[in-house]
A and B are shown apart, each in its own frame.
Chain A
Amino acid sequence: MHPTVVMSNHVHVYVSQAHKGELVMGAGVDSYNGYGQRGSFHLIERQMAAALELFPVFARAHVLRTWGGIVDVTPDASPIIGPTPVGNLFLNCGWGTGGFKATPASGWVYAHAIATGEPHPLAEAFTLERFTTGALIDEHGAAAVAH
């Protein structure tokens, strides 16, 4: 049983092994808006090719199932977290495909925003306001959606 998650931004795939031995792999995002939740064939094909590049032995494995979800991506690919101009409406969204792993930190700073009505100092740069001020977090490569 493989003990870690392996991820490669170079060939673009991430893979981990479930307790029953199955491999779970993920990768790209469709370039267009969609609610289909199917996953495009060419993205799946590219992801398989990337996995084989890392682990040629995976060529012997069979695809059991594929799954796609809805990925919420913001214009600068970073999450939006904090209060909004609407009273008592708070946002914690735009996590792309990185929202699980960020949960401890995002929960912490989001709770602060809800309790105080002010963004947590760690998350100040991540409020909705940046799309008015222009202070975008221009780190697409490092952002949550890119793993």
Chain B
Amino acid sequence: MLLIACPWCGEREELEFHYGGQAHVAHPAEPEGLSDSQWGEYLFVRDNPKGPFAERWSHSAGCRRWFNVVRHTVTHEILAVYPAGQPKPVILP
């Protein structure tokens, strides 16, 4: 069970949150110019690191706001919580 600090509500149990996958996947500026495989890449291909991973979470059973988290995928340690739209913090190894 993760304990996630919602930027608004503070620490809440994982059950109150919804996972949104990898963060910072930008929508292509000109989708019509992409080939099918480039578009497929944007839709489906994601990083899957063993270590710190920047990902989106929504406080779905609380204030229903989306935000970003850097979580270690082995230890589950939460290394950073920051608002959607802000750059990924630099996490030292």
Count how many chain B residues have C-beta atoms less than 8 Å from C-beta atoms of the other chain: 22
CB–CB A36/B76 < 8 A: yes
* Chain B residues with CB below 8 A from A41, complex form: 1
Complex Cα–Cα for A40 and B19 (A): 15
Provide the residues of chain B in CB contact with A133, threshold 8 Å.
Answer: 36
**A32-B55 in contact given A42-B1, A42-B15, A132-B37 (Cβ < 8 Å):** yes
B40 in the interface (beta carbon within 8 A): yes
Interface of B (DSSP majority class): mixed
Cβ-based interface call for B12 (8 A): no
- Is B18 part of the contact surface with A, judged by Cβ < 8 Å? yes
A132–B41 CA distance with the chains assembled, in angstroms: 8
Tell me whether B75 is interfacial, beta carbon within 8 Å: yes
List residues of chain B with CB under 8 Å of any chain A CB: 1-2, 13-15, 18-19, 36-37, 40, 43-45, 48, 50, 53, 55, 71, 73-76
Chain A interfacial positions (CB closer than 8 Å to B): 31-36, 40-42, 75, 131-134
